């Protein structure tokens, strides 16, 4: 019975985390067409980047041995055209990333401000203003980092991995197996390291919230502190949080 309760709690916790993730991703849904264009740009950029070594292999194994000048000119033209296309798609990718990132962050901040306005005085009586301001500083900044860094990195890494593994399998199956075993070895120990990093990051976030709240309280009550001659006491408490 106890194990069933523990499993149900773990399941509800996972569901909650998934709901938070889907809630964060939902702010990008209004810009799904820009997001689709972003994926296409990343796909083209990654494809050209991975194809360049294949071009060089073809040049050294075929054109250089045969000494065909006309074929060499065609090869150079294709290579220049591919690099030009890649540069154009990189520029479009940067524009699409900025549109999705900034507008999603804007909608997120507006949604949080609107929700805070609906909570009323009952919420602020139980939660200090410094705590709410700290949450706006730390938690919203974490979600903004998700939009601006982690989500584009996830798209780039996923598409690059799929194309790179496909190309690697065509070159050498044995080398591909060795590389995949190396990744498997990392993912055996990687989650433990990631978990420890997440725990310390959570502790750092909690400490930052407490410090910001203490900073706000010290500034808000500075006249009372001076009137009671409690500057040293408040400074010592402030340095403790720092």
pLDDT 10s digits, 145-160: 777 777 778 887 888 8
Query: What integer is the mean pLDDT of 194-204?
Result: 87
Q: How far apart are CA 184 and CA 188, in angstroms?
A: 6
The arithmetic mean of pLDDT across residues 179-200, rounded, is: 84
The phi-psi region of residue 229 (left if phi > 0; otherwise alpha if psi is between -120 and 50; otherwise beta) is: left
Can you give the pTM of this predicted structure? Answer: 0.56
What integer pLDDT is reported at residue 15 of this predicted model? 55
Q: Are 193 and 109 in contact (CB under 8 A)?
A: no
What fold characterizes domain 2-171? ABC transporter transmembrane region fold (1.20.1560)
What average pLDDT does range 197-226 have in this prediction?
Answer: 86
End-to-end CA gap in the chain: 45
Model confidence at 1, pLDDT cuts 50, 70, 90, reads: very low
- Predicted confidence at residue 106, as pLDDT, reads 83
Domains of the chain by residue range:
2-171, 173-242
């Amino acid at each position: 019975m106890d194990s069933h309760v523990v499993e149900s709690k773990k399941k509800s916790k996972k569901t909650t985390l998934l709901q938070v993730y889907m809630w964060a991703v939902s702010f990008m849904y209004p810009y799904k067409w820009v997001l689709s264009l972003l994926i296409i740009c990343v796909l083209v950029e990654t494809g050209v980047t991975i194809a360049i070594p294949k071009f060089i292999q073809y040049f050294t194994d075929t054109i250089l041995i045969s000494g065909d000048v006309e074929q060499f000119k065609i090869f150079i033209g294709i290579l220049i055209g591919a690099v030009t296309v890649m540069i154009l798609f990189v520029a479009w990718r940067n524009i699409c990333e900025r549109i999705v990132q900034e507008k999603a962050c804007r909608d997120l901040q507006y949604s949080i401000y609107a929700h805070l306005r609906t909570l009323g005085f009952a919420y602020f009586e139980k939660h200090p203003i410094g705590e709410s301001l700290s949450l706006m500083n730390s938690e919203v900044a974490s979600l903004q980092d998700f939009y601006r860094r982690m989500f584009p990195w996830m798209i780039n890494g996923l598409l690059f991995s799929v194309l790179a593994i496909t190309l690697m399998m065509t070159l050498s199956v044995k080398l591909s197996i060795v590389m995949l075993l190396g990744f498997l070895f990392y993912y055996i120990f990687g989650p433990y390291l990631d978990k420890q990093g997440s725990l310390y990051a959570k502790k750092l976030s909690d400490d930052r919230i407490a410090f910001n709240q203490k900073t706000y309280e010290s500034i808000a009550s500075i006249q009372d502190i001076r009137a009671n001659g409690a500057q040293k006491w408040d400074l010592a408490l402030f340095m403790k949080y720092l």
